Amino acid sequence: MTLYDNISKNTIASILLIAFFIAFIIAIGFVVSLLFDFGLVGVIFAVIFAVIISLVGYFSSDKIVLGLTGAVEVKKPEFAFLINTVEGLSIASGLPLPKIYVIKSAAMNAFATGRNPKSSSIAVTTGLLEKLDRQELEGVIGHEMSHIKNFDIRLMTLVAVFVGIIAILSDFAFRSLWFGGSRDSDSKGNGILMVLGIILIILAPIIATLIKLALSRKREFLADADSALITRNPEGLAKALEKIGNDKVELKGASNGTAHLFISNPFKQKGFLVNLFSTHPPIEARVKALRQM
């Protein structure tokens, strides 16, 4: 698969994600409208709300994610080492220089975000800067540059925002269903609406999880491989991933909605089920792939 194939695939996935999100909000609005007899007005409101949130998500999702994670844009005198590294790899990869952010945390992690390469940003934790040497840091930055180049950033950032909103709206639907259910039980269609509402509430977190898993672990393997090509040093990223994998500090600014953005799962739980539902492949598998290059 070529670079252009990846970009095209991510563009289509982003469009489908936005369409699904709009449909999901309209479905919630429809159920709530019928429960409270809002009628067509409630559905129209849901459509308008869905479109507005989708536009905000598309144009401002990167700012939302950066704000949620506590990332702060850096200045050169204080973080010259980081800025010089990003500048060098930006030139090597042929990409515009992304904005550079730092998250004050002892945890070791990093992520990229933005709509496209021209509006991209890279954020790294202070723990990562303190514990990695130059070659290891280049490997991590190269990985994030790959996500920018392939337009992974747009899709991954939209997912982060939409999954969070779906969680909020499903909770709202539950509360509406609870109070709506207190109406006359003989109301026309009330029993059917109760069933539809319960199904919607149950499916919402499952759907959100499936959306994140649909991002595919292959994206991380591809970004690792691209990093090795950009830096000409797969061992640098391999060593960085080993250090990140052995790090025991969880990133407090991360959430279930943003975890898939990071180079490594920001939560340190381990086990079969954790690996099964993780958006990241095991560190050991990634290191092995890099050392076989």
Least confident span in 29-43, 144-158, 234-248 = 29-43
Q: Are 109 and 143 in contact (CB under 8 A)?
A: no
Question: Tens of pLDDT along 189-235?
Answer: 556 666 766 777 677 767 767 776 666 677 899 899 999 999 999 99
Residues 119 and 12 in one domain: no
> Residues of the chain with pLDDT > 70: what percent?
80
Residues 135 and 222 in one domain: yes
Residues 98 and 131 in one domain: yes
Question: Tens of pLDDT along 72-92?
Answer: 999 888 899 999 999 999 999
Give me 168's structure tokens. 């909020």
Domain count, the chain: 2
Residues 127 and 266 in one domain: yes
Residues 221 and 209 in one domain: no
Query: Span 249-273, mean pLDDT?
Result: 80
Residues 102 and 172 in one domain: no
Distance in angstroms (rounded) separating the CA atoms of residues 99 and 17 = 26
Query: Span 126-141, mean pLDDT?
Result: 97
Q: Which domain holds residue 201?
A: 3-61+157-213
Residues 135 and 221 in one domain: yes
Among residues 198, 213, 228, the one where a domain terminates is 213
Among residues 213, 231, 251, the one where a domain terminates is 213
The confidence score (pLDDT) of residue 185 equals 47
Residue, of 184 and 108, whose pLDDT is higher: 108
The confidence score (pLDDT) of residue 210 equals 72
Residues 128 and 231 in one domain: yes
The confidence score (pLDDT) of residue 182 equals 46
Q: If you ran DSSP here, which 8-state letter would residue 97 be given?
A: P
Residues 253 and 164 in one domain: no
Among residues 172, 194, 213, the one where a domain terminates is 213
Least confident span in 169-183, 212-226, 272-286 = 169-183
Burial class (CB in 10 A: 0-12, 13-18, 19+), 235: middle
Residues 168 and 180 in one domain: yes
250 catalytic? Reply is no
Q: Please pick, among 78, 130, 136, 144, the residue that the annotation labels catalytic.
A: 144
Residues 122 and 222 in one domain: yes
Q: Are 241 and 283 in contact (CB under 8 A)?
A: yes
Kindly report the CATH number assigned to the domain that includes residue 282.
Answer: 3.30.2010.10
